[in-house]
Structure 1
């Protein structure tokens, strides 16, 4: 082990020690359903109380909090996280400090778009913009995305629209050549949530109505959404070329903002209004 990696490991364990102590100190026995007994010299739960709540040995938890070199599992970290009432970001932080990759956070079913995000979409006009979730469901679109890219209003799925909307297909010049990369990117997203019934439902429903999707899905190609160029042949505006950039919305896991910007040298996008 290099001196640099040893220093990093030592620093991580120091942070783990301080993190567990501070999380323990902010709780009282009453917060976790325990009866306080005796006078406490310091605030918060005792180590043995956390160990009991998590179902681990007191010595083992003490060693973990001391930052010793011990083996930890995801199951035990989850139990400690529950005992300490950790939030999802705190649980992910605990995983990292313990030297494990944090599990994927659960996808929120809340589709209420904050007004700040809607204002951002509208402010991007006359350039198209849309907000989607991990399943590629449209959560919000601006007027330019409707008028220039052929998207319907919210409540639709981008992948379903891509394969089933005749209007969308007619607008997009290189539809056939990008279909394979679209399906490959969707497979990569689905693979991050194995067993998710919503992905399975979408794949099954689309396979039932689109032979093209079925054929491409059977290839098992995997890709990632990269910065891409979208070419649109609009009946009134003519040929339009956009650079597409996809941004993650950090305070809403599994939400993604797609921003379309006219390519340098292309025609100015007309105001769809």
Structure 2
């Protein structure tokens, strides 16, 4: 069978599964919303449908009853983000459920948002980076501002009170980090390319424009690299550092996202099998290493 036919059949099967899931998802969400929650009379014993009826969802969302029925049946109809948002509002969907609805309807999902119930995850994330000891780890917000860091990030990367707390600004302007970063020139281009990708994904967010303006003013090196217009997704970066106590450290930083907290990025540093980097990090985290540190250990 030609590949083009196989791909067409696979695509058709995928659409069928998506429409089936759309039907089941909308029915399950509709069943959990009581009439009282949306200001409708309960209907007493005459109401045999759990939750809302299809017609009620249509009226509350401001769409035609037939159109909503076709949507719930998974028919091949035209949908718009505005209409899906109205349906999501009536069905009281969470941000994750709203994004799921978009995907099932065949539209690009909206940007992820932090659910109110997930805003208290920072204690768990603090435990995560502290457990990463003796290896450096820190957490940034969407604008690259440092939210928290572990002791190893203070001892190795020089994170400390008194710096700007913006990781990319410190990368270009912090003299302590610049003095230690043997791989600074190789990594600068990647750092700027990744920041451009993040800015491009948030064109209407003025916060990124404020950080960008500050970077251009503070660093001619950043401004020159920015004009090259390189772009790269966040991932892993090899870092070589000259630490004043232990000498060469070879690390690999990995940027991780937590879907429930799309506003945060976890950056974990892993020692590479070079220069006894793991052993040196363990010594720096020991009581002897802490006593010999040039700067107080952060935290």
TM-score band (shorter)? Answer: over 0.9
Q: Does 1:52 align with 2:65?
A: no
Counterpart position of 1:79: 86
SS of aligned partner of 1:254: strand
Counterpart position of 2:149: 141
- Of residues 54, 60, 64, the one that matches 2:71 is 64
Counterpart position of 1:22: 28
Q: Does 1:221 align with 2:209?
A: no
Q: Distance in 2 between matches of 1:218 and 1:56?
A: 48
Counterpart position of 2:99: 92
Assess, with a 3 A threshold, how the Cα gap between structure 1 residues 155 and 178 changes in structure 2: closer, same or farther.
Answer: closer
Counterpart position of 2:294: none
- Of residues 191, 194, 201, the one that matches 2:200 is 191
- Contact 1:133-1:254 within 8 A present in 2 as well: yes
Counterpart position of 1:3: 9
Counterpart position of 1:251: 260
Q: Distance in 2 between matches of 1:225 and 1:139?
A: 18
- Contact 2:180-2:241 within 8 A present in 1 as well: yes
C-alpha distance after superposition, 1:32-90 (max 9, x if no partner): 12344573121211112111221111111111111111111112111111111100111
Residue segments in structure 2 that go unaligned for 5+ positions in a row: 291-299
- Contact 1:113-1:140 within 8 A present in 2 as well: no
SS of aligned partner of 1:79: helix
- Contact 2:164-2:170 within 8 A present in 1 as well: no
Q: Distance in 1 between matches of 2:10 and 2:270?
A: 43
Name whichever of 82-91 and 101-110 sits farther off: 101-110
Q: Distance in 2 between matches of 1:21 and 1:205?
A: 50
Give how far 1:163 is off. 1.4
- Of residues 153, 168, 171, the one that matches 1:159 is 168
- Contact 2:94-2:115 within 8 A present in 1 as well: no
Give how far 1:149 is off. 1.1
Q: Distance in 2 between matches of 1:112 and 1:28?
A: 29
Assess, with a 3 A threshold, how the Cα gap between structure 1 residues 107 and 200 changes in structure 2: closer, same or farther.
Answer: farther
Counterpart position of 1:101: 108
What CA RMSD, in Å, does the superposition of the two structures yield over aligned residues?
2.1
Counterpart position of 2:297: none
C-alpha distance after superposition, 1:210-264 (max 9, x if no partner): 2222222222211122322101011111111112222222331232221112210
- Of residues 235, 242, 250, the one that matches 2:251 is 242
Residue segments in structure 1 that go unaligned for 5+ positions in a row: none
Q: Distance in 2 between matches of 1:64 and 1:150?
A: 55
Give how far 1:121 is off. 1.2
TM-score (norm. length: structure 2): 0.85
Q: Distance in 2 between matches of 1:173 and 1:96?
A: 45
Name whichever of 210-219 and 67-76 sits farther off: 210-219
Name whichever of 58-67 and 209-218 sits farther off: 209-218
C-alpha distance after superposition, 1:90-143 (max 9, x if no partner): 111111111122111136899866322212211211111111122211111111
Name whichever of 139-148 and 104-113 sits farther off: 104-113
- Of residues 119, 126, 135, the one that matches 1:127 is 135
